[in-house]
Structure 1
Amino acid sequence: MGKTLFILNDPPYGTERSYNGLRLAISLLKGEGEAVRVFLIGDGVVCAKRGQKVPQGYYNLAHMLELVARRGGEIGVCGTCLEARGIAVTDLVEGARASTMAELTAWVQWADKVVSF
């Protein structure tokens, strides 16, 4: 069983780093016995904002995060970064929750692999 932590730093749109990180996380969750955690920090916290409206046919990071959660992945969102951007915990997609640097530290220690996008 592999344990992988993804740390996403970039906003949901404007670059494709967070998108590609979530693509890999979702792909890993298709495997038997894989454990995945995603931690959103910095501008990456905006990926978990509920109610994103994107053009038809364009990827939606909020939906991708919900898929991670439905497949058993855990999603932590930096609480300090949320506050700095004026995003309330109630604005987060289902399956995402406010987290802390202490929890990120514990997740790094838990993981076999840490991937940062």
Structure 2
Amino acid sequence: MKTLFIFNDPPYGTERCYNALRLAHALRKDSRAEVTVFLMADSVIAAKSGQKTPDGYYNVEKMLKRVLARRGVVLLCGACMDARGLDEAAVLEGAHRSTMDELAAATLEADKVLVF
């Protein structure tokens, strides 16, 4: 089953990204599951590399790396990156700049689309 997650909220301040990633990780325990995460709006900051969070606090960068390590896909809205001054050199390895056309294609291919 192909599941597309669309994130909109910033990585910290709410727990939407955190909870969506928890679900993505749970789905990936099933080897048949395919997970794509599309970050848009303020959520593109979730893919910024080098995040340092206090001990005992979740780290969204590390959670996205786990998605990638389990053969998931992490895409970032290019226009949203530009609006926030975020370039590809600043994001974690394996995450890719993307487009609305690519999001549309992923939406059509997905069995389920979850928006956070």
Aligned partner of 1:83 in structure 2 is 82
Deviation at 1:4, TM superposition (A): 0.3
Deviation of 1:32 after TM superposition, in Å, equals 2.3
Structure 1 stretches of 4+ moved >2 Å: none
User: Could you tell me how far 1:111 is from its partner in structure 2?
Assistant: 0.2
Aligned to 1:22: 21
Report how many aligned residue pairs link the two structures.
116
Give the Cα separation in 2 of the matches to 1:25 and 1:94: 19
SS of 1:7's equivalent in the other structure is strand
Deviations 1:18-46 (A, max 9, x none): 11001101110111211010000000100
* CA-CA distance at 1:95 after TM superposition: 1.6
* Root-mean-square deviation over aligned CA pairs: 0.6
Aligned amino acid, residue 97 of structure 2: A
Name structure 2 gaps, 5 residues minimum. Answer: none
Deviations 1:35-70 (A, max 9, x none): 010000000100000011100010000010010000
Partner of residue 114, structure 1: 113
Describe how 1:1-117 pairs up with structure 2 within 5 A.
2-117=1-116
- What TM-score, normalized by structure 2, do the two folds share? 0.98
Amino acid at match of 1:3: K
Please state how far the C-alpha of 1:94 moved relative to its aligned partner. Answer: 1.6
Counterparts of 2:59 and 2:13, CA distance in 1: 12
